[in-house]
Structure 1
Amino acid sequence: MLQLKPYVPLLRTGIAEVDAYRSLYPDIKDRTFPIFLARPWPNASHLQLTVKRIKEAVGDQPFGLSLDADRHGFDNSRAAQREFDALFNESRGFQAYYNFVGDIGGAVPVLQSTRSPDILLHQLGNAERLDRGLIVHQRRGATIPLSDILIDMPPLPHDTLFVVDAGWSRNYIDLESWALPVLERIVNALPEAEIVVMSSSFPDSFSHIIGDAEETGSERRLYSALTQRFQQTDLTYGDWGSTRPTLGGGGGAIPSRIDIPSTHTWHIFRADPDLDPGFPEVAWIAHHHECFNLVPDCWGKETVAITDDQGAGVTGRQVAAAARINMHMTIQSGGSSILPTDEVPYQD
């Protein structure tokens, strides 16, 4: 399924995530296979706007399309929420969801979680009829071990991709202790399986930083450890695109912050909450730090570099997040990041 693409980012369909992917240079997109967790687009009347935004981002590239379960049953009176909730109907093996995916060119279905073996079987049939392959996304913390159940079921659809997702943690041991036995069970049962190993360790707190500091990530460390352990297995690197689970607001003002990723770390530039000069000054400091020169050319880097007090570049937290995610995906793809001559940095 991946056709030698070396990087699989898992992205919610929030504005920052989709903008970040859309703004990747074409050579970087050629090296990625994104999996989107669909949810209603902010303030949209219908779910179709989410589909439109994803297709604008990916172009003609194939991609995985699942559902963001965190938004299922969300208290929202718009039709988009009702349309979204209807896709969780398990009838006939999530037929509504597979029909939804089937109407979107290039979209590959993701096996939906259920406790019923019969519904799992129906899903395998739905995926087989769709004939685009199937993604089995097994995440730490999920109550249903899909990968374990499927191992004992009939042959899987052609082009099945397993995603071993260790979830989010700042504790590396949490990630490896879960991922290792899950991967081992899949490899022992299906030695020829195509498998993505992913996780997230993007920090959940920055209150200890005023000025700048480096935070270490665990995503590449986990992938390296598992590739060394399973040297004969077809493993591909994935992560959450430099994002973390949604957190509740902690109250108080949120100071300006710019994050500059590298392969294994993030360099955090954060203003003093009591003396916040705004994004232009924080971006200027980040732009002139030595870590900035190590980032390959990309929209995110350019957005930070052009930030000023006239409204160019990073204008708020959403654009700052999009820039970080875009830089992160560019770095993790391992591409050369060549800007086409007809491309200009996107400004929203």
Structure 2
Amino acid sequence: MSLLYQIALTKVNGVGPVAARHLISHFGNAEPIFSASKKQLVTIPGIGMRLADNILAAQPLREAEIELRFVEKHNIEAIFCENKKYPKRLAECPDAPILLYYKGNTDLNPSRTISIVGTRNATAYGKSICAEFIKALVPYEVTIISGLAYGIDSYAHRNALAQGIPTVGVLGHGLDRIYPAANREMAAKMIGSGGLLTEFSSGTNPDKQNFPMRNRIIAGLADVTVVVEAAAKGGALITAEIANTYNRDVCAFPGKLDQEFSAGCNYLIKTNRAHLITGAKDLQYLMNWELAQTPVQPKQLALPVSLDTSEQQAYATIQTAKQVTIDELSRQLQWPQSKLAIILLQLEMKGIIVALPGKVYRIK
């Protein structure tokens, strides 16, 4: 029954994390908040007449009943801020959510956590850095956090799965959907080797205003936030800035001066908002991390059985050639480039191949 009231507290219009904590501190837990009188409520710092009316309205409890049925039906954990499973690093942040929805199998309080963020428009340079960096992290027994978005986020999750590293995706919407839809298959794998986490209840759309809120959780969950590749503006820089306000370490990989999607990283380094790193050894030195006693052996990425006939043919041809242009692939397979481009994109999204500059492809 207490979970019903914990969820209801997040449904009260105008009550954010700070006001919710004032209420919990005053009443001891969530349940008596909803049976308090208006006179009692308005004596609490930050709770005026209007918020008191919102708390005592019937709507929060009605919505909470619907959400409670959803989480029970789909085996989702609703983790309240006073629960021992609540992420301790996040709990240190003053604006941390009071309730998280989680579906997964990894501990949200691991010994070491790294948030990896970057542009949605990842280049071959950024993808290569991401893959090599994560591969080198295997002996340190870390958990990798990111935002399940296109680009660097997706490559971080995908490479973590390939290396057997637990990875948690923080969502800007409810657990009744996956956005972008192209990441559904990967998200399903993450539930078995990491998890999906959000503060948003079911029915919440991936609206623009939700993503800065998501970014604070990405920053708050981690010991260190690493920006792999980022433009001068975007979510990755927001996450880095939030991490700095939480007094967490921020690192960035440098890039070429004339590259649009390195401008953000170079700016963070130039303005002392991030430490310059070039690999896992730099991060180890900065964080003073020791290698694990028994290094975890990386898992090799297996060829998915879900490849259709055309994808299998393209994969086999690239594997034989080791590295091949789209023109040569088109000639060997006798397919028009319009058809081939779609198949190559599908293989790249599944993490099977890597696209290099000049429309060159190789097996990952």
TM-score by length of 1: 0.31
Higher radius of gyration, 1 or 2: 2
**Higher strand proportion:** 1
* Between structures 1 and 2, the one with greater helix share: 2
Q: Which has the higher contact order (CA 8 A, sep 6+)?
A: 1
